[in-house]
């Protein structure tokens, strides 16, 4: 059975860097190379930023769960902030850059697998996988 | 994580030199926005962002720069990134913003 680590994080901007540093240490200890560690740092920050900006109310907490498998790191960012309608999500147009909306696009570009499960009235879970190769 | 930003106006080139050091993320992006806005309000000129000492930036920082770029373009001014590190170069590449903000990477 894979080892698991869970962080319960207050939904405030100042804690996103703490999560980023913790996951970076974890990825380093699993033997990921520098480029992969940077990819994981950005992807996790983007997922946490999404929660802090859109997914919590007040000081609501969210969870960051890390599953340490032999060949991969699986990171899930889970909030209980009511979910959203995935039909409303639009891929950003890279020809006409805007200030927002790049987060999910970047996560998908940097991680090997990404799954987003959102349930209206419950919350959202972003699961991201990076293989050690 | 902290962010420090230095800025100075180069009268010879007629451009701002702005140097952020540290990390730009959701908790510090507003500092970068203020630095860009204040500089541009003070003197409407091109801005050169020196990224030599910027360790980390994600979409929050990109958003701030895109916003400034849009406002400056209306007046015919430009914003250019210099010497971004590999992690930031990759971010610029996958979002296609290298062509817009850092042409030296596309040469």
Q: Which domains does chain B have, with CATH numbers?
A: 3-106 (3.30.750.24)
Q: For residues A45 and B58, is the Cβ–Cβ distance under 8 A?
A: yes
CATH number at residue A82: 3.30.565.10
Of the candidates A117, A131, A122, the one whose C-alpha atom is nearest the C-alpha of residue A47 is A117
Percent of chain B past pLDDT 90, that is, above it, reads 93
Query: Tokens 């180069």 map to which residue?
Result: B10
Range of the domain at A123: 3-131
Q: Are A38 and B96 within 8 A, CB to CB?
A: no
* pLDDT at residue A58, rounded to an integer: 54
pLDDT tens-place string over residues A84-119: 777 776 777 666 667 778 999 999 999 999 999 988
pLDDT tens-place string over residues A16-60: 999 999 999 999 999 999 999 999 999 999 999 999 988 665 558
Which pairing describes strands B3-10 and B15-24: parallel, antiparallel, or unpaired?
antiparallel
Query: Tokens 């100042």 map to which residue?
Result: A14
Instruction: Give the mean model confidence (pLDDT) for residues B92-101.
Output: 93
Spell out the residues 6+ positions from residue B68 whose beta carbon is closer than 8 angstroms to its own: B33, B36, B37, B40, B47, B79
* Cα–Cα distance measured from residue B79 to residue B62, given in angstroms and rounded to the nearest whole number: 12
Q: What's the domain count of chain A?
A: 1
Q: Are B27 and A42 within 8 A, CB to CB?
A: no
Residues in B closer than 8 angstroms to A100, CB to CB, are 59, 63
Task: For residue A16, give the nearest of B27, B62, B69 by CB distance.
Answer: B27
Q: Are B27 and A14 within 8 A, CB to CB?
A: yes
Average pLDDT of the residues of chain B = 95
Model's pTM, two decimal places?
0.92
Average pLDDT of the residues of chain A = 89
């Amino acid at each position: 059975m894979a080892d698991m680590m869970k962080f319960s994080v207050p939904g405030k901007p100042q804690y996103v860097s703490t999560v980023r540093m913790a996951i970076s240490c974890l990825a380093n200890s699993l033997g990921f190379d520098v480029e992969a560690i940077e990819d994981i740092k950005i992807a996790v920050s983007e997922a946490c930023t999404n929660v802090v900006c859109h997914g919590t109310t007040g000081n609501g907490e969210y969870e960051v769960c890390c599953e340490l498998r032999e060949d991969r790191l699986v990171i899930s960012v889970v909030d209980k902030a009511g979910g959203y309608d995935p039909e409303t999500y639009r891929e950003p147009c890279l020809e006409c850059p805007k200030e927002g909306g790049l987060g999910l696009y970047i996560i998908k570009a940097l991680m090997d697998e990404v799954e987003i499960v959102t349930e209206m009235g419950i919350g959202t879970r972003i699961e991201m996988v990076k293989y050690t190769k | 994580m902290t962010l420090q930003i230095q800025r100075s106006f180069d009268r010879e080139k007629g451009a701002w030199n702005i140097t952020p050091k540290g990390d730009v993320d959701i908790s510090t992006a507003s500092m970068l926005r203020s630095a860009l806005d204040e500089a541009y309000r003070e003197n409407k000129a091109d801005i050169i962002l020196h990224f030599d000492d910027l360790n980390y930036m994600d979409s929050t920082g990109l958003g701030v720069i895109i916003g400034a770029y849009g406002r400056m373009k209306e007046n015919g001014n430009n914003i250019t990134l210099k010497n971004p590190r590999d992690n930031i170069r990759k971010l610029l590449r996958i979002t296609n913003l290298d062509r817009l903000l850092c042409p030296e990477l596309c040469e």
